[in-house]
Amino acid sequence: MNTKLRMFGVIILCLGMTVSAWAQKPDRSAPPPLGPPPSFSMSAIQHFTLSNGVPVVLLEKHQVPLVQVNLVVRAGSVLDPPGKTGLASMMASMMMEGAGERDALQLADAIDFLGAQVGSAAGMHTSGVSLQTPLSKLDSAIALQADVALRPAFAPAELERKRKSRLTTLLQWRDEPRSLASLAFNSTLYGSAHPYGASSIGDEQAIRSLRVEDLRQFHARYFCPDNAVLIVVGDVTAAEMKPKLERAFGAWKGTAAAGVNLPQIKQVEKRSVVLVDKPGAAQTEIRIGRIGASRITDDYYPLIVMNTILGGSFSSRLNQNLREQHGYTYGAGSSFSFRLLPGPFLAGAAVHTAITDSALMEFMRELDAIQKPVPDMELERAKNYIALGFPGEFQTVGEIAGKLEEMVIYDLADTYYSHYIGRIQAVTKADVQRVARKYLDPAKMAIVLVGDRAAIESKIGAMNLASIAHVSIEDVLGKAPVIEGTK
């Protein structure tokens, strides 16, 4: 009986404590405090070299029986010859259209049969062939990857199909204000003489000029062992991978051609406005920017934090202003494109035609405001946003291989990512203000608008930002190509 009474008393006491807890109102006057940012460190990175001199960077990840192998070649669109813009991109695209003894369909079937993924691509400064495969199919998959990378077929019939596809893309871009804005913005910032200012797929004349021999020559000039790196991430060890890579890539020979001297990049010296007329457009695409910074700048961490505050997250100033406060757009933001050479800073959004001038005014207001000291809470929120999200960028073998590729391209230390969060957290208010003033002078910005000139020109002119340069769609893309076999 005493035992039952004691149990009853405990129940009553617990109920009383629960009712008391319910009676206490939660404090919603401030967000709960954040704990310290997560620590992050990568597994040990291993290095070895194949017999032909190809360096290999390997990181073991044994949780899942998958392997990622990326072949990175230091050659991209900046090496396109004059009059052949888009050559690197076309070459990379064609590498998947037949290789070794297989035509395009046979190659695709062989890859699918293994449950693997193989892809080829070219960027500004690099090209490459990537492979992700189940561990059990690794040997066969690497052999396919080597065929794609070293023995592409470059079949004439496939080139004609790709050519028609790219000409069709040029036609489609004429009706895509976002594409027009990107092309016009890059050309305005860098000019037509610099590869950063050109379209990655080329114009109609360049696309029509490409021949199989052009592809073969570009591949032979730059796809060489002394110009390449292999990156491996997955459920393997260096001892297991070295003989496999040696069989696939060890007999690869050749010496890469020298690079080219690129034109000097000139910073925007005054504010300018370029208006691309898109009659009847329901929205205006806004692009505002200037030359930014290279990836290896000492200002990298302050720039990342500053841009997160300005336009690099959903809670950034630009998005909160133009989307949440004014309802001008579904999303506004900003970014720095970090490359071997200084890439662009870009702020932009798509806004309703009728409020183009109002939206543009808010952009300029935020570019002015970021020049001033940022509040402590806003700085800490931005740094925590970056720090808390950073470990999530290393979840898959593909993501990790991409990070290792960045380390290779920009010659970063093996311990670079282990120190990343700490360096972000060390950014101060003074750092943010300094880089904002250094890189984001509102009086020296290129403003590119793609929209209905008749509806927006007078309002933009009344803002007295700068004289307006008028550009047509043909100025951006050339005349509409006539594609054989279409009406």
| Same-domain check for residues 370 and 439 | yes
DSSP state, residue 152: B
Give the chain's end-to-end CA distance (angstroms, integer): 96
| Same-domain check for residues 225 and 307 | no
What's the domain range around 472? 272-477
Q: In whole angstroms, what is the distance from residue 258 CA to residue 262 CA?
A: 13
Which of 203, 218, 249 is where one domain is finished? 249
| Same-domain check for residues 90 and 213 | yes
User: Considering the domain boundaries, does residue 299 fall inside one?
Assistant: yes
**CA dihedral sign, ordered 332, 335, 337, 341:** positive
* Count of domains observed in the chain: 2
User: Considering the domain boundaries, does residue 173 fall inside one?
Assistant: yes
User: Which amino acid, residue 300?
Assistant: Y
User: Considering the domain boundaries, does residue 276 fall inside one?
Assistant: yes
| Same-domain check for residues 383 and 416 | yes
Q: In whole angstroms, what is the distance from residue 272 CA to residue 182 CA?
A: 16
User: Considering the domain boundaries, does residue 24 fall inside one?
Assistant: no
| Same-domain check for residues 225 and 316 | no
Q: In whole angstroms, what is the distance from residue 453 CA to residue 455 CA?
A: 5
User: Considering the domain boundaries, does residue 255 fall inside one?
Assistant: no
Would you tell me how many other CB atoms lie within 10 Å of the CB of residue 206?
21
463: CATH: 3.30.830.10
pLDDT per position as a tens digit, 405-452: 999 999 999 999 999 999 999 999 999 999 999 999 999 999 999 999
Q: In whole angstroms, what is the distance from residue 214 CA to residue 359 CA?
A: 46
DSSP string for 236-291: --HHHHHHHHHHHHTT----PPP--PPPPP----S-EEEEEE-TT-SEEEEEEEEE
| Same-domain check for residues 193 and 329 | no
| Same-domain check for residues 318 and 452 | yes
Which of 249, 283, 314 is where one domain is finished? 249
Tally the C-alpha atoms within 13 A of residue 381's C-alpha that lie toward its C-beta. 16
Structure tokens at 252: 């690869």
Which is nearest to 91 in space by CA: 191, 34, 159, 37? 159
Kindly tell me the burial class for residue 101, based on how many C-beta atoms sit within 10 Å of its own C-beta (0-12, 13-18, 19 or more): exposed
Strands of the sheet containing 117-122, edge to edge, are: 45-49, 55-60, 228-234, 66-73, 127-134, 117-122
| Same-domain check for residues 357 and 402 | yes
Evaluate whether 128 touches 71 at the Cβ level (below 8 Å).
yes
- Model confidence, pTM: 0.90
User: Considering the domain boundaries, does residue 20 fall inside one?
Assistant: no
Which is nearest to 221 in space by CA: 262, 264, 260? 260
| Same-domain check for residues 116 and 54 | yes
| Same-domain check for residues 291 and 178 | no
In order along its 487 residues, the chain shows pLDDT tens digits of 455 556 555 555 554 555 454 456 777 777 676 666 667 778 899 999 999 999 999 999 999 999 999 999 999 999 999 999 999 999 999 999 999 999 999 999 999 999 999 999 999 999 999 999 999 999 999 999 999 999 999 999 999 999 999 999 999 999 999 999 999 999 999 998 899 999 989 999 999 999 999 999 999 999 999 999 999 999 999 999 999 999 999 999 999 998 888 999 999 999 999 999 999 999 999 999 999 999 999 999 999 999 999 999 999 999 999 999 999 999 999 999 999 999 999 999 999 999 999 999 999 999 999 999 999 999 999 999 999 999 999 999 999 999 999 999 999 999 999 999 999 999 999 999 999 999 999 999 999 999 999 999 999 999 999 999 999 999 999 999 988 765 4
E strand or H helix at 319: helix 317-319
DSSP state, residue 142: H
| Same-domain check for residues 203 and 90 | yes
Using DSSP, state whether 361 is helix, strand or coil: helix
Which of 249, 280, 314 is where one domain is finished? 249
User: Considering the domain boundaries, does residue 290 fall inside one?
Assistant: yes
User: Considering the domain boundaries, does residue 205 fall inside one?
Assistant: yes
* DSSP strand pairing (98-99 vs 102-103): antiparallel
User: Which amino acid, residue 4?
Assistant: K
| Same-domain check for residues 216 and 314 | no
